[in-house]
Structure 1
């Protein structure tokens, strides 16, 4: 028998460090939802016997590459970041969040910013937005939040009452809502906006030393936003304006580019920082943790077929590669499962075998069958593990690095509940004109809300962030 063992991998081609033991909080558990290998095995197994995205349905995509410009191997052993000048192919999908597949590009909404790096250790997906924070910080609230952004079950119309009722009862949303209602709520194009990983992630170097990181993609085209009236005009006249702009720019050789930077926090700082660094509704001050350049992303090729490459593209923040791992961010922990599970439902159990999602790394695992299996399904090879037939085996050097956990197993909230300092600081950083437009946008968005108590509750959040801002909104609403 051959002694040349193949590495066991996930379906996105990343090596598996342990296929015998789930990731648990200590020897007695409970099992952690961040064990994406476990979740993938179970979820794929459930679908072995044989729709439009729920969120981010409307989008556009492009191919390109990422080039390393700064050596950060002291912080991560990720192979695609291992040397200056190294280029990795990638695919990116930009999107709006709430609207349907045929909705307008120029609405006030966050923009999805999902990047798939085809690395030699498997695909790495960085699935973020064009904002550094999010509306909620625990995945258990995500279905309810998205329901408020969708249509009323009786009228089938958008429902401002639900939107503002939820936000006013979820004060952690204030930071993201303030960004959304600012000029940045309607980017001029996909090319003229920043991108963010939003969550905190863990980088691990070759020595097993860990740091916490946040990702920032800085557009090299400059940030530009749309005037409210022009955005509304475009929504009616050319609802695919952003999709068209991206395609045409690349087609004529005007390749969009972004500089990727990271903030790096020493592992122990997480215990003493003035905001919880794993709370996705908060940012880290760049004075405390300055931006460090990593590399440059360039988009230089349009898809040949929209459905095959953009609509069938699937991204999951749980698609990690060695050197990049999850943090205790509660919202991220839920997304590690939810995204891949959405793809198994929408595209199929074998979504990672489609050309746009297929890793360039060799894939070796024991997942079999399922709808639309397009390869030889493992042929007659061994189909379980452990085995003594020279099948792929785990590689212990790729096990996830531990981090300490404490406390009882319970439904526990974040310890820190200052939801007002950062949105207040953001308002005070704006120019007078920007502040006025922010107030006008908020007033316009809240005016259709029928119940005064909802308006007053939301105004109180902004008053706590900045007394002037709260008063100006109240005056605008006649309250």
Structure 2
């Protein structure tokens, strides 16, 4: 008997949770695309030989989003969090490399197989005939998944007002091949400008606020690498590393992200947004995947999800 495909099972479970919405992402269905640039720090160039980390200004495409796979989910709904931020660094030779992050420090589970069990439990608990027992049993065995579900995920006042975490470890290589392991974090560099009341109507206030904010001036975020300490689990994104106190991991500022414009509304913008296929496995020389199995799994899942949402060609 043919074994079921893990990635198709993951996608099927996500569709069971959120339903099918033609042409839209199975998660993070509602978002807004912005454009800007990235300038790496001198420390980044010493840390990695990757092309976008050498200090020259690099064009940048960003997508801010809500977690829900239901596009009508209001920004203030608990199911809208955690929010997502995807970055695409556009290189001179036509290549690109991506970072995909969200506003919760950690991933619910450590392995693709656990992720499947988690999603299937969620789908069953919320189905037409709800059965919470499989999810309850899963959470009893996986307390970090329970913590993820129970953690408050309030809507921020602005997409620009919170940190985003690249929860899987990557390996950065310098010109001599020396390696440093770490996790990305993207965080505000300055206090957001208070929006005008007219910029916050209805259920899409985060997109409206972002557009209003950038019409006044570009916004800046900092890209940070939280470095692994000896003995850290490099292959388990469900385990967050300390950021404060005596066990806080060392951090290196990799550079500054300038968020400058948002794409205008309309059908063309919506089509371009859905055609964008960010992928955390889209790496270049100087940055490698660690042994974290969820990084490879997310890369394949994102690839297949992008194929599923493409319109069928006549």
TM-score band w.r.t. shorter chain:
0.7 to 0.9
1:82 aligns to 2:82 (yes or no): no
Partner of residue 307, structure 1: 270
**3-state DSSP of counterpart to 1:262:** strand
User: Where does 1:211-250 land on structure 2 (aligned, <5 Å)?
Assistant: 211-222=180-191, 238-250=202-214
Could you tell me how far 1:344 is from its partner in structure 2?
Answer: 2.1
1:53 aligns to 2:25 (yes or no): yes
Could you tell me how far 1:299 is from its partner in structure 2?
Answer: 1.0
**3-state DSSP of counterpart to 2:76:** coil
Q: 1:293 aligns with which of 235, 253, 265?
A: 253
Query: 2:44, 2:255 within 8 Å by CA — same for their partners in 1?
Result: no
1:131 aligns to 2:113 (yes or no): no
Partner of residue 240, structure 2: 283
CA distance in 2, matches of 1:166, 1:303: 41
Partner of residue 141, structure 1: 114
CA distance in 2, matches of 1:162, 1:191: 37
Change (3 A) 1:58 1:163: farther
Could you tell me how far 1:164 is from its partner in structure 2?
Answer: 5.6
**3-state DSSP of counterpart to 1:61:** strand
Change (3 A) 1:164 1:58: farther
In the TM superposition, what whole-angstrom CA distance separates every residue of 1:345-372 from its partner, at most 9, and x where no partner exists?
Answer: 22279xxxxxxxxxxxxxxxxxxxxx69
1:329 aligns to 2:292 (yes or no): yes
User: Where does 1:376-391 land on structure 2 (aligned, <5 Å)?
Assistant: none
**3-state DSSP of counterpart to 2:36:** strand
Query: 2:43, 2:253 within 8 Å by CA — same for their partners in 1?
Result: no
CA distance in 2, matches of 1:187, 1:132: 15
Query: 1:116, 1:126 within 8 Å by CA — same for their partners in 2?
Result: yes
Could you tell me how far 1:153 is from its partner in structure 2?
Answer: 3.3
Could you tell me how far 1:166 is from its partner in structure 2?
Answer: 4.5
Partner of residue 11, structure 2: none
Q: Which runs of 5+ in 2 are unaligned?
A: 1-5, 7-22, 194-199
Q: Which runs of 5+ in 1 are unaligned?
A: 1-32, 34-50, 225-233, 350-370, 373-479
**3-state DSSP of counterpart to 2:221:** strand
Query: 1:220, 1:258 within 8 Å by CA — same for their partners in 2?
Result: yes
User: Where does 1:10-29 land on structure 2 (aligned, <5 Å)?
Assistant: none
Query: 1:110, 1:131 within 8 Å by CA — same for their partners in 2?
Result: yes
CA distance in 1, matches of 2:137, 2:69: 20
Could you tell me how far 1:117 is from its partner in structure 2?
Answer: 0.9
User: Where does 1:115-264 land on structure 2 (aligned, <5 Å)?
Assistant: 115-120=87-92, 122-147=95-120, 149=122, 152-154=126-128, 166-177=138-149, 180-181=151-152, 184-222=153-191, 238-250=202-214, 252-264=215-227
CA distance in 1, matches of 2:212, 2:161: 14
**3-state DSSP of counterpart to 2:114:** helix
Query: 1:106, 1:242 within 8 Å by CA — same for their partners in 2?
Result: no
Could you tell me how far 1:147 is from its partner in structure 2?
Answer: 4.7
Query: 1:56, 1:98 within 8 Å by CA — same for their partners in 2?
Result: yes
**3-state DSSP of counterpart to 2:44:** coil
Could you tell me how far 1:68 is from its partner in structure 2?
Answer: 1.6
Q: 2:62 aligns with which of 92, 95, 99?
A: 92
**3-state DSSP of counterpart to 2:45:** coil
CA distance in 2, matches of 1:58, 1:112: 10
Superposition TM-score, scaled by structure 1 size: 0.52
The count of aligned residue pairs is 277
**3-state DSSP of counterpart to 1:74:** helix
In the TM superposition, what whole-angstrom CA distance separates every residue of 1:380-435 from its partner, at most 9, and x where no partner exists?
Answer: xxxxxxxxxxxxxxxxxxxxxxxxxxxxxxxxxxxxxxxxxxxxxxxxxxxxxxxx
In the TM superposition, what whole-angstrom CA distance separates every residue of 1:329-348 from its partner, at most 9, and x where no partner exists?
Answer: 12112112111121122227
**3-state DSSP of counterpart to 1:340:** helix
Q: Structure 1 residues 254-263 or 316-325, which shifts more?
A: 254-263
Query: 2:58, 2:90 within 8 Å by CA — same for their partners in 1?
Result: yes
CA distance in 1, matches of 2:148, 2:66: 15
In the TM superposition, what whole-angstrom CA distance separates every residue of 1:148-187 from its partner, at most 9, and x where no partner exists?
Answer: 55683326x9x98876664344213244345x32xx5332
User: Where does 1:346-365 land on structure 2 (aligned, <5 Å)?
Assistant: 346-347=309-310
Larger C-alpha radius of gyration, 1 or 2? 1
Query: 2:32, 2:263 within 8 Å by CA — same for their partners in 1?
Result: no
Could you tell me how far 1:114 is from its partner in structure 2?
Answer: 0.9
Partner of residue 418, structure 1: none
Superposition TM-score, scaled by structure 2 size: 0.78
Could you tell me how far 1:283 is from its partner in structure 2?
Answer: 2.0
1:341 aligns to 2:311 (yes or no): no
